[in-house]
Amino acid sequence: MYIFTIDFEDWFERKQNAELKPLPLSRLKFGSDEMLAIVEKAGVKPTFFILGCTAERNPSLIAEIADKYDIGIHGYEHYNCNDISVEVFEKDLRKVKRLLKDITGKDVNKYRSPSFSLANRSFLKVLVDNGIEVDCSLASINHQYGSKVLSSNSPCRILVDGAEIKEFPPTTIGFGNFKFGFLGGGYFRMLPYSITRKLTSQNKEYASAYIHPCDLDKKLPWDYAETIQLEERTFFAKLKAQVGLKTSARKLERWLSDFDFVDVETAVKMIDWENTPLEKM
């Protein structure tokens, strides 16, 4: 089973520190126009995890997307869960849930945390309490923005105070025992397509892939890191933000045609949940 998802956010909203509020011009359309054309042409139906502040600035686009595709929540602000309290997290979640209901008419029940940063049961409890039934956030490796939470990156159920949440973890990629990232985003841009193809094939039982609109923005400003994050003002961070932008659209076309990707809603129906592991966090 191959799941395809899009974390739908503008390029400057991928900040990790809420107090940094840069106001550069939106570039959402530069990546999203091509992305939407490619998924439509490929006949692939991704799940769009929508960032609330992006939705607030682009309500008609979000309504169009929700008409055609499965949608989930990606937070209102792009908070890293490790930087905020449970109370702030809940306020943020309620805000985006209300907003998406207003824009799309849908009561959204799927969630992905910014940067796969969801890390403990208190945050999962907030998801359950607010009607989230499916989460796509929990990492099985320690990574730049969060910690290892699960022992494997296969679908499972998480028991939270008597309630169950269905979990589709991001697919961890690497070679042998060396795991270094997730299937999609910057890694998709950085790696030659032949390697992405191999890594995807190796996970045919279950792979969950993701991408952002800005991964297809060929003219993403070089000063990306200067604008966004103090801790990422390094040559490597700038390179990571820029690498592969010129070829990513063609690579995406090949990826979507080589594999039969489905959205999260379809994947939920394909799984025999009674027989998936029950994780107690």
Q: Which residues bind Zn ion (CB under 5 A)?
A: 7, 9, 114
| Least separation in angstroms between CB 258 and Zn ion | 25
Question: CA 15 to CA 22: how far, in whole Å?
Answer: 9
- Cβ 111 to Zn ion shortest distance, Å: 12
* Residue number with CB closer to Zn ion (160 or 210): 210
**Shortest Å, Cβ 31 to Zn ion:** 13
What is the smallest separation between the CB atom of 280 and Zn ion, expressed in angstroms?
28
DSSP letters spanning 233-245: -SHHHHHHHHTTT
Residue (of 213, 142, 149, 217) closest to 182 by Cα position? 142
Which residue lies nearer to Zn ion by CB, 135 or 160? 135
Nearer to Zn ion, 145 or 206 (CB): 145
Task: Give the separation between CA 10 and CA 269, rounded to whole angstroms.
Answer: 31
Structure tokens at 239: 């390179």
Question: Residue 262 in contact with residue 270, Cβ under 8 Å?
Answer: yes
Report which DSSP code applies to 143: B
Compare residues 7 and 77 and give the one whose CB is closer to Zn ion: 7
Q: Which is nearer to Zn ion, 9 or 90 (CB)?
A: 9
**Distance, first Cα to last Cα, the chain:** 25
Query: For residues 117 and 172, which CB has a smaller minimum distance to Zn ion in the complex?
Result: 117
CA distance 48 to 54: 12
Question: What distance in Å separates the CA atoms of residue 192 and residue 188, rounded to the nearest whole number?
Answer: 8
Residue 51 parent element (H or E): none
CB of 7 to Zn ion, least distance (A): 4
Tokens of 128: 């359950």
The strand pairing partners of 262, in sequence order, are 3
- What minimum distance in Å lies between the beta carbon of 103 and Zn ion? 18
Cβ-contact 40, 82 below 8 angstroms: no
Min dist CB 163 to Zn ion, Å, is 26
- Contact yes or no for 70/268 (Cβ under 8 A): no
Angle at 64 between CA 62 and CA 66, to 5 degrees: 70
Residues 215 and 188: beta-carbon distance below 8 Å: yes
Nearer to Zn ion, 15 or 251 (CB): 15
CB of 74 to Zn ion, least distance (A): 6
The residue of the chain with the least Cβ separation from Zn ion equals: 7
Q: Which is nearer to Zn ion, 160 or 264 (CB)?
A: 264
